[in-house]
Amino acid sequence: MTKQEASDRYSIPIWLLDEYESWGLCQEVKKVMGSWQYDDSDLERLSMIMTLHDVGFTNSEVETYMRLLLEGDHTKEQRMQMLTRKREHALDEIHFREAQLARLDYLRHSILPVKPGASDKRK
The answer to whether 69 and 79 are in contact (CB under 8 A) is yes
- The pairing of strands 30-32 and 35-37 is antiparallel
Q: Determine how many CB atoms are found less than 10 A away from the CB of residue 29.
A: 20
What pLDDT, on the 0 to 100 scale, is given for residue 117?
66
Q: How far apart are CA 83 and CA 86, in angstroms?
A: 5
More confident residue, 38 or 66: 66
pLDDT digits (tens, 9 = 90+) for 22-63: 777 665 556 665 667 787 888 888 889 889 999 999 989 998
- The whole-chain average pLDDT of the chain stands at 84
* Rg of the chain over all Cα atoms, to the nearest angstrom: 23
Domains recognised in the chain with CATH numbers: 3-111 (1.10.1660.10)
